[in-house]
Amino acid sequence: MILGGARSGKSSEAERRLTLLADDGVYVATGGRRDGDADWADRVRRHRERRPDSWATVETTDVAGVLRDATRPVLVDCLTLWLTAMMDEAGAWDDAAWHGGGEQKLAARFDELEDAWRSATVPVLAVSNEVGLGIVPEGAGVRRFRDEQGRLNQRIAAASETVVLMVAGIAMTVK
């Protein structure tokens, strides 16, 4: 698991590590498409250009499914974007939806991902943002996101053999 803040070098470090593991890795892009967002399109383009042609790219939020079926090393980039999609699915931005079953939906998705992570038969790397080092957000939805990101990071870190924190492009081994 590779954690860090924005522009800390997480993705580059994860890609470097996958290259050391396999010539034909699987890159799982969880971010989806954002029509009309030129900055997002540029970010996706830069990520694609860095990847070797021999890597398979899978654009999905079904990370657990990819991990269960994997026969070669996998890089998930990133769990933060996966979490955003799962929170959308669970209605986490609306207090009534969240307290009316959304929280349980998200917990089930966390369980599914952690189970697939623990039972993977190939090396798996994941990138995730460390979002809990800053100020306390003003809005309930944003606080909920920060809290759930922290819970997700803790679960995947506990299930991981190695955890790396990226700081200013420097990889610091945490576990």
Kindly state the DSSP code that residue 101 receives in the 8-state scheme.
I
CB 40 within 8 A of CB 34: yes
Kindly state the DSSP code that residue 18 receives in the 8-state scheme.
H
47 noted as active-site residue:
yes
CB 165 within 8 A of CB 3: yes
Tokens at 77, concatenated: 């980039």
Whether the full predicted model's pTM is greater than 0.85, yes or no, is yes
CATH code, 94: 3.40.50.300
Share the mean pLDDT of the chain: 92
The pLDDT assigned to 132 comes to 79
Instruction: Please state the domain count of the chain.
Output: 1
Q: For 102-127, what is each residue's pLDDT tens digit?
A: 999 999 999 999 999 999 999 999 99
The pLDDT assigned to 40 comes to 67
The pLDDT assigned to 29 comes to 92
Q: Where in the sequence is the domain holding 157, given as residue range(s)?
A: 2-173
Q: Which of 43, 47, 68, 105 is catalytic?
A: 47
